[in-house]
Amino acid sequence: MKKLIEARFSIGNIVKHKYLNFRGVIFDLDPEFKNTEEWYLAIPEQIRPKKEQPFYHIFAENEEIFYIAYVSEQNLILDDSGLPANHPDIKQIFSDFDGKSYMPHERAKN
């Protein structure tokens, strides 16, 4: 029987990467690693995360670019700056920002 995995972060949370210079909004999550083995093995072994933890799909941004990131829970922290994110795709899923999290559109809650 599989162990129940509890996610530390929620959809709509703004998070920062612990080691890389980016922040973003969580728009989906996997209870454990669901990307390709090739993607996983491309991560340097000394910083490769364990697969048995939540992985988050993030509308990511830094000072230069917007992109989609796939990040393990162990490499994320909440962004407590109170600043909204600027990723252009946020408005496709989320509406209001309360200073900590984005609220999904009504149609995105299903």
Backbone angles phi, psi at 58, to 5 degrees: -130, 135
The three-class DSSP label of residue 61 is strand
How many folded domains does the chain comprise? 1
Copy the structure tokens of residue 92: 């496709």
Distances (CA, A) of 31 to 2, 10, 105, 110: 11, 12, 23, 18
The three-class DSSP label of residue 69 is strand
The verdict on residue 73 lying in a domain is: yes
Domain span at residue 87 reads 14-109
The verdict on residue 9 lying in a domain is: no
pTM value? 0.90
- Residue 2's pLDDT is 64
The verdict on residue 67 lying in a domain is: yes
Return the biggest CA–CA distance within the chain. 45
- Residue 43's pLDDT is 87
pLDDT in tens, the chain (110 residues): 567 778 999 999 999 999 899 999 999 999 999 999 999 999 888 889 999 999 999 999 999 999 999 999 999 999 999 999 999 999 999 999 999 899 998 765 55
The verdict on residue 1 lying in a domain is: no
DSSP track, 6-54: --SS-TTBEEEESSSS-EEEEEEEESS--S-HHHHHTS-GGGPPPSSS-
